[in-house]
A and B are shown apart, each in its own frame.
Chain A
Amino acid sequence: MHKLLIGAEEIPEIIRAVAQKIVDAGFAGDCVLVGIQQDGVPLSEKIADAIAGIAGERPLLAKLDISMYRDDIGKMRRLPLIRETEIPFDINDRELILVDDVLSSGRTIRAALDAITDYGRPALIRLAVLIDRGNPEYPIRADFVGRRIELPADRRVAVRFAPDDAPGVYDEPWIERHPETKE
């Protein structure tokens, strides 16, 4: 049972809005966009393109997988696959922007902060998300938000980018596409 919340045609516009907010805050080619696996990675590339279009310079890109930093291993129905982490430069004293598709409980970002600080000591870290669904369980807020959506806790916001996967933002039950995330 899923319902389309935002059509595919609106997504590029929301991405541009996030990019604009990042540029307005003074970040551009000298910052690093760190895409959180899995859906934060394609999003970080799209935001980087949009920043390049606005500011004329493209930020560096990195990929971060947070599976090894989760605090619920053994509690999930299924173990998440470990995907690639690729941070091909020194992050000490750099300005990082974590990128994820949806900010929900804040637990993924908690894990991402632990993971990224094992690679070095950045000058600052900000958070950019396409969708903020506004039910934080941890005291974590996004700095750059594309769209705010309110949904009951038992529903999941799913963002799909792949052209062959009916792109768009959907409202769906937790179990449907990510059976590993909830009992």
Chain B
Amino acid sequence: MQWNRKDLLELYDLSAEEIELILDTAAEFKKVSQRRVKKVPALRGKTVVNFFVEPSTRTRVSFELAEQRLSADIINVQTQASSLLKGESLLDTIKNIEALRVDLVVMRHSAPGAQAFIARHLNCGIINAGDGAHGHPTQALLDIFTIREKLGAVKGLNVTIIGDILHSRVARSNLWGLLKLGANVTLAGPSTLVPREFESVGVKVCHNLEDAVADADVVNMLRIQHERQTIGFFPSTGEYSRFYGLKAETLKKMKPSVLVMHPGPINRDVELDSDVADGDKSVILEQVTNGLAVRMAVLYLVAGCVKK
């Protein structure tokens, strides 16, 4: 198996073998963070630009630390300070950045497909750190890494993703990755946020929480994205929480080995009870730790395919 891509745009594009290769590579990078010296010289002399045209804290921090641990040089471009505000087109902005001879651009943008568009015009590598509701491949990879590390394999597992699926790039990237690796995926939440159309790609859609989690090996609780709720998809947060929030009583009826995941940031006591978020089934903080390893692996693999 060889990695041969200068960009990571969406898990939909990857084969099961390519996904496994990233996960195997991440397992070795995870060990680096457990050593006395937490840094390797793999990307020494390479320059990485973190270009975030949409707010992000955890993903940006995780990428930045991953880049530091690979010994890359780093530039952070923030929207508020960028010339996009002066009317420059996105492609012009990125081409100007590339003209400084950078090797990789890690990019978040609110427009689905923005990274794929940019990647066609650039020689440097592009890593998608989130494009609208379309994809967030490194988040899905870290979720799948965590599942594989905890439960051994992904094939045949029942994974239920609960919440605002309609607006969720995390759900989309997860379902492509999980389906490729042979998991059974169930999407659950109110019908306004979990349309039946998703069934056409081979996942189950369920509008009742208890049915959706009964056989689950993994439940991934998504954040209710208040910033994307411009029209009322449900009557109130309280009602959402009552029907779709994961509570300690529900957890007791689930498999004893179940993993509770959340991509963060958590709305405590909305989608996830505090008891559950901090309980022994929760792997939420391990997801964050694994995110670093997965991003180091992706940066390393992609950088190896950027030709100068």
Contact = CB atoms under 8 A, between A and B. Distances in A.
Interface in B49-89: 70
B99 interface: no
A5 interface: no
A120 B42 contact: no
Interface in A95-154: 114-115, 118-120
Given A68-B40, A78-B2, A118-B40, A85 B28 contact: yes
Contacts of A74: 46, 103, 303-308
B305 A79 contact: yes
Interface string A64-88: 0101111101101011011111000
B41 interface: yes
A78 B4 contact: yes
Q: Which of A73, A83, A84, A85 has the most chain B CB atoms inside 10 A of its CB?
A: A73
A120 B300 CA distance: 24
Contacts of B41: 68-69, 71, 114
A71 B3 CA distance: 18
| B: interface residue count bin | 20 to 34
B1 A69 contact: no
B44 to A, nearest CB: 7
B119 interface: no
- In the complex, which of the residues A81, A115, A120 has the most CB atoms of chain B within 10 Å of its own CB atom? A81
Nearest to A111: B41
A78 B307 CA distance: 11
Interface majority SS (helix, strand, loop, mixed), chain A: loop
A85 B33 CA distance: 13
Contacts of A76: 304
A79 B308 contact: no
Contacts of A82: 24-25, 28-29, 300
Nearest to A90: B36
Contacts of B306: 74
Contacts, number: 65
B40 A71 contact: no
B226 interface: no
A67 B21 CA distance: 15
B155 to A, nearest CB: 22
A84 B26 CA distance: 11
A79 to B, nearest CB: 3
Nearest to B40: A68
Nearest to A69: B41
Interface residues of A, number: 22
A71 B44 contact: yes
B44 A84 contact: no
Nearest to B43: A73
Contacts of A70: 42
B104 to A, nearest CB: 10
Interface in B254-306: 300-301, 303-306
A119 B28 contact: no
B121 interface: no
Interface in B153-210: none
B42 A69 contact: yes
A81 B39 CA distance: 19
Contacts of B39: 118
Contacts of A119: 35-37
B228 to A, nearest CB: 38
Nearest to A121: B36
A115 B39 CA distance: 10
A84 B40 contact: no
B35 A118 contact: yes
B32 interface: yes
A114 B21 CA distance: 25
Nearest to A84: B28
B292 to A, nearest CB: 15
A118 B305 contact: no
The 6 closest A-B pairs by CB, nearest first: A79-B304, A68-B40, A118-B37, A68-B42, A82-B28, A82-B25
Given A78-B2, A115-B40, A118-B40, 9 more contacts: A68-B32, A68-B42, A73-B43, A74-B103, A74-B304, A74-B306, A79-B2, A81-B2, A120-B36
24 contacts: A65-B28, A68-B29, A68-B32, A68-B40, A68-B70, A70-B42, A71-B41, A73-B300, A73-B303, A74-B103, A74-B304, A74-B306, A78-B4, A78-B304, A79-B3, A79-B304, A82-B25, A82-B28, A82-B300, A85-B31, A115-B40, A118-B37, A118-B39, A120-B36
